[in-house]
Structure formats: C-alpha cells, structure tokens
Amino acid sequence: MRATPRRLGLLGGTTWHSSIIYEQLLNEGVQAALPGQTADLVVRSYNFGEISAHHAAGTWDELAELYIADARWLIAGGAEAILICANTMHKVAPEVQAVIDVPVISIIDATAKAILDAGLENAGLLATGFTMRMPFYRDRMTQQGVTLVIPEEPDLSEFHHLIYERVANGIIEERDRVGAREAAEKLVSRGAQAIIAGCTEVPLVLTQDDIDVPLFDSMDLHVKAALEFALAD
C-alpha cells in the first residue's frame, strides 16, 4: 500500500447528494487505510438543473464535450484517475476515456465484478429511466457476463419519476420507500437473483433490509474500486 493516496478527479454526482456521499466515503476509506490521512480529491460539482436539461433534450454529445473538458481540467489539477459519480452519466464515459491518458474508473465494471464474484449471473436494475432504457449500461453488463432484468412499463416510468423528480430534489417520504421496495420485488418475481442500485440516489429509498436478495450498491462498489486504485502500490 502507498504511503499517501493517489489524487482522484471527481466529475460530481448529477445531484449534490451523491457528490457529498462520494467525498465522505472516499475520505473515510483513505482514513481507515492510512490513519491520519484523508482522500486527495479534485472535484467538479454540477448544477443539476443544467445537466437535467441536457438529459431532457437528449443532447448527449454536448454532455460528452462538457465532461471531456472537465476531465481534462481535473487532470491538469493532478488527478491520476477520473470518477464519473453518476450511473446515467456513464453514457459518456467511453468518449471521455478515448481522449484522456488516465483511467476512467467504471461504476458499471465495478458492479458487474461484484455480482460475478458473488456467483450470480443476473440482476434487476433500478435506476433512472435513461439508464434503464438506453443500451449503454445493459450492453456493458452483458460484455462482463451479467444479464439485466429491467422494469416493465408503467413501473419503469414510475421509478424514474420517483428518483429523478423526487429523491433527486430531496423529497423522500414513506410512500417513496414503499414504491422502491415494490419495484424491486417485481424484478425478483421475474427472476432477478439480485438488485442493482443503479442510481446513486437509490440507496436513499432502498436498503438491503428491504429485500430478500442481495442489493448491490453501485456507488459503494465504485468507491471501493476507486480506493483500490488510490491506495495500490
């Protein structure tokens, strides 16, 4: 293990909630491994309103250009790896990786590895509608050997609304937790061996205590992969 952690560049969570949790978990992880030290981070935190407007308009090319420019800015600040702190924004991860010389640590790969290491082959995905509908997440999982079970309509749209319009804006009530639990249970009834919290906000409304199959928290797994990189010799 290194004596000091490598510097990580964070392209912050689409919402500020997950950005804060990422920073907290990374700092706690480094402190646990290297007492007296904390994470070495450079951070770009985004205005959720601007990012969500691009999502709604489908202007993913513009988002890719933004994330590329910001990744380069973080690297200029000394970042030795980049974390895109949101599942949905991994849509542009290949474009970012293609033009920078440091690794983009993938939340999808980290989650797939954990599922396979647990001896499982398929999992239900709960995420934003963009992540559940577009092929980028499903295809990358398939490449790793994991098959996804995706919610059917109207459940898919309802879950997207729960995460994107309520939890992302700090609105969490008991009915939101019930809705998340019911969505997970439906995926299990369709054969899912586990559930992926495929949005960094999902753990705010769904925990392992809520379901009878393993819950893979993609953010937690992403942080662990980042810590491995930051602390490895």
Q: Is residue 11 classed as helix, strand or coil in its secondary structure? A: strand
CA–CA separation, 176 vs 171, rounded Å?
Answer: 9
CA-closest candidate to residue 11, choices 60, 56, 69:
69
- For the domain spanning 7-106+220-231, the CATH number is 3.40.50.1860
Q: Where in the chain is the domain with CATH 3.40.50.1860?
A: 7-106+220-231, 108-218
User: Residue 18: what pLDDT?
Assistant: 83
| pLDDT above 80 (res 168) | no
User: Residue 17: what pLDDT?
Assistant: 80
List, in order, residues 6 or more apart from 164 with CB less than 8 Å away. 52, 128, 129
Span 187-208, average pLDDT: 94
Which DSSP letter does residue 210 get?
G
Span 86-94, average pLDDT: 96
| pLDDT above 80 (res 169) | no
**Of 5-19, 128-142, 147-161, 203-217, minimum mean pLDDT range:** 5-19
Starting at the edge strand found earlier in the chain, the sheet holding 215-217 runs 147-149, 122-126, 195-197, 215-217
pLDDT band at 200 (very low <50, low <70, confident <90, very high): confident
User: Residue 216: what pLDDT?
Assistant: 98
Question: For a pLDDT cut of 70, what percent of the chain falls above it?
Answer: 100
pLDDT band at 207 (very low <50, low <70, confident <90, very high): very high
| pLDDT above 90 (res 171) | no
CA–CA separation, 162 vs 149, rounded Å?
Answer: 19
- For the domain spanning 108-218, the CATH number is 3.40.50.1860
User: Residue 176: what pLDDT?
Assistant: 87
Rounded to 10 degrees, the C-alpha dihedral 142/26/40/113 comes to: -20
| pLDDT above 80 (res 106) | yes
Higher pLDDT, 165 or 104: 104
| pLDDT above 90 (res 155) | yes
Token pair, residue 164, equals 């994107």
| Mean of all residue pLDDT scores within the chain | 95
Token pair, residue 112, equals 């797939």
Question: For a pLDDT cut of 90, what percent of the chain falls above it?
Answer: 88
* Sign of CA pseudo-dihedral 23, 206, 155, 163: negative
Specify whether the backbone of 191 is left (phi greater than 0), alpha (psi in -120 to 50) or beta. left
Span 81-109, average pLDDT: 97
Tens of pLDDT, residue by residue over 42-74, are: 999 999 899 999 999 999 999 999 999 999 999
pLDDT band at 13 (very low <50, low <70, confident <90, very high): confident
pLDDT band at 28 (very low <50, low <70, confident <90, very high): very high
CA–CA separation, 82 vs 8, rounded Å?
Answer: 6
- For the beta carbon of residue 83, count every other beta carbon within 10 angstroms: 27
| pLDDT above 90 (res 96) | yes
User: Residue 201: what pLDDT?
Assistant: 82
